[in-house]
């Protein structure tokens, strides 16, 4: 798996953000010219690590090839001797986890909430401003809109400063309100997609899945508000036993009541966090029961709304629907199994979450010749 945290040595008393520049050996003056104040340039590589220098002082990274981290933006924690790779320059899957707090307790949550919160928004803003040209940056939690003042401000400032960047924000959609109108109107809505889960047409089923009474009602109210604001909404539905039968009903509801959404994403589960605890009760084997999925996708797409399958291994999807199943699992979470050896679709298939269990899951999968 791709490491998101690396070891560092830095002589500082506070966390800080840097961008690594692993230039080929060339003149020091040229390096200096190309650096901005958050850049550190590779000075020397030795058995003890790779040494970088910049305006903020020296930093050494350990245990990773400097060529693999060129352009990466790190949040360095000098006390712990670690750095989080907030932006990996070669990846399309960079996400800021802005909080671990949440007001829902979803049955399949991959990142179970914690009470503790450390405000790192300033560091995230600096990191976003150092992102490669044209990047889309993910924001997730926890529930990011529990800190919506900081979130809106981060979005506004970064998008104002960098016309090439965009954001994808995962939110439970519970906390938008009319009072946010002004702050949200200052954000370039064309460059922010809000990924919001809706699990069922039936309020009782949705509320039971997210562990919060009244969540469905609040969500529909807030989706209407986002519609009025012209926000781009990617509606997300994780497929599970409790909501699988109701999928066609949800599809009808989307076409009649939520036609303004930009995308409907039907998603397979992730076997981690609460998802692992509840896997046996929740996991829906779509390789056996695809009919309900296919009918729902067909209905929504027939009304001109984009609908996609996220996190579905291609061999578990009937051939006629495979073009709707892009490789969505983040590069650092992605793995392939022994069954994938020799598969002709491997280059375009997203495979499995690294933690997908070998002994429980799809009954029909295997290399496509
Ligand atoms: S065998 Fe592996 S690579 Fe091929 S389609 Fe299935 S999951 Fe994807």
Residue with tokens 């709304």: 305
Q: Based on the structure, what is the number of domains in the chain?
A: 2
Any atom of ligand 1 within 6 Å of the Cβ of 329: no
Euclidean distance between CA atoms 296 and 237, whole angstroms: 12
CA distances 294 to 24, 79, 269, 319, Å, are 51, 52, 17, 11
User: Are residues 108 and 34 part of one domain?
Assistant: no
What mean pLDDT comes out for the span 9-18?
94
What mean pLDDT comes out for the span 165-183?
97
- 345 Cα: distance to centroid of ligand 1 (angstroms): 6
Any atom of ligand 1 within 6 Å of the Cβ of 305: no
CATH number at 344 reads 3.20.20.70
Domain membership of residue 193 as a residue range: 94-353
CA-based radius of gyration for the chain? 22
CA distances 264 to 185, 196, 203, 238, Å, are 24, 10, 18, 11
Q: Are strands 59-62 and 73-77 parallel, antiparallel or unpaired?
A: unpaired
Q: Let me know if 228 is exposed, middle or buried by CB neighbors in 10 A (0-12, 13-18, 19+).
A: exposed
Domain presence at residue 174: yes
Of all residues in the chain, the percent with pLDDT exceeding 70 is 97
pLDDT at 34 over 80: no
DSSP 20: E
Any atom of ligand 1 within 6 Å of the Cβ of 343: yes
The two three-digit tokens of residue 222, written as one number: 């807030």
Domain presence at residue 194: yes
User: Are residues 171 and 45 part of one domain?
Assistant: no
User: Are residues 40 and 141 part of one domain?
Assistant: no
| Band (317; pLDDT cuts 50, 70, 90) | very high
Domain presence at residue 364: no
Domain presence at residue 323: yes
pLDDT value, residue 25: 46
Domain presence at residue 367: no
User: Are residues 69 and 191 part of one domain?
Assistant: no
What mean pLDDT comes out for the span 108-136?
97
CA neighbor of 241 nearest in space, from 283, 193, 295? 283
pLDDT at 31 over 60: no
User: Are residues 240 and 166 part of one domain?
Assistant: yes
The two three-digit tokens of residue 143, written as one number: 């529930």
- 329 Cα: distance to centroid of ligand 1 (angstroms): 13
pLDDT value, residue 33: 54
pLDDT single digits (tens) 188-215: 999 999 999 999 999 999 999 999 999 9
Which of 311, 340, 354 to mutate for ligand 1's pocket (most ligand atoms within 8 Å of CB)?
340
pLDDT value, residue 26: 46
Under 8 Å CB-to-CB from 305, ≥6 apart: which residues?
Answer: 254, 255, 259, 261, 263, 264
Say how many residues make up the chain. Answer: 369
Any atom of ligand 1 within 6 Å of the Cβ of 196: no
User: Are residues 201 and 318 part of one domain?
Assistant: yes
- 318 Cα: distance to centroid of ligand 1 (angstroms): 13
User: Are residues 173 and 112 part of one domain?
Assistant: yes
pLDDT at 169 over 90: yes
Domain presence at residue 368: no
Per-residue b/e over 186-213, b at no fewer than 16 CB within 10 Å?
Answer: ebebebbbbbbbbbbbbeebbbbbbebe
User: Are residues 152 and 31 part of one domain?
Assistant: no
User: Are residues 48 and 160 part of one domain?
Assistant: no
Domain presence at residue 186: yes
Domain presence at residue 156: yes
């Amino acid at each position: 798996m791709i490491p998101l945290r690396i070891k560092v040595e830095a002589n500082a008393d506070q966390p800080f953000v840097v961008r690594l520049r692993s230039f080929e050996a060339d003149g020091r003056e040229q390096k200096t010219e190309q650096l901005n104040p958050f850049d550190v340039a590779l000075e020397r590589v030795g058995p003890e690590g790779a040494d970088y220098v910049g305006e903020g002082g020296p930093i050494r990274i350990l245990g990773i090839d400097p060529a693999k981290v060129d352009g990466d933006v790190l949040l360095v924690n000098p006390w712990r001797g670690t750095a989080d790779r907030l932006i990996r320059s070669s990846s399309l899957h960079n996400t800021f986890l802005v909080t671990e707090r949440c007001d829902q307790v979803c049955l399949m949550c991959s990142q179970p909430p914690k009470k503790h919160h450390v405000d790192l928004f300033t560091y995230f803003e600096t990191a976003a401003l150092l992102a490669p040209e044209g990047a889309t940056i993910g924001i997730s939690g926890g529930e990011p809109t529990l800190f919506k003042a900081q979130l809106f401000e981060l979005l506004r400032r970064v998008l104002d400063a960098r016309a090439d960047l965009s954001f994808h924000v995962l939110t439970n959609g519970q906390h938008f309100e009319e009072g946010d109108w002004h702050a949200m109107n200052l954000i370039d809505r064309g460059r922010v997609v809000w990924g919001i889960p809706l699990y069922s047409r039936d309020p009782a089923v949705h509320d039971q899945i997210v562990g919060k009474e009244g969540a469905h009602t609040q969500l529909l109210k807030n989706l209407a508000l986002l519609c009025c604001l012209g926000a781009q909404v990617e509606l997300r539905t994780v497929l599970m036993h409790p909501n699988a039968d109701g999928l066609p009903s949800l599809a009808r509801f989307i076409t009649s009541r939520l036609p303004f959404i930009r995308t409907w994403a039907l998603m397979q589960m992730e076997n981690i966090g609460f998802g692992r605890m509840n896997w046996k009760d929740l996991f829906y084997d779509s390789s056996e029961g695809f009919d309900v999925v296919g009918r729902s996708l067909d209905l929504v797409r027939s009304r001109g709304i984009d609908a996609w399958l996220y996190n579905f291994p291609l061999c578990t999807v009937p051939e006629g629907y495979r073009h709707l199943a892009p490789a969505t699992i983040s590069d650092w979470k992605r793995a392939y199994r022994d069954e994938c050896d020799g598969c002709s679709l491997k280059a375009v298939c997203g495979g499995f979450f690294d933690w997908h269990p070998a002994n429980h899951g799809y009954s029909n999968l295997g290399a496509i010749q």
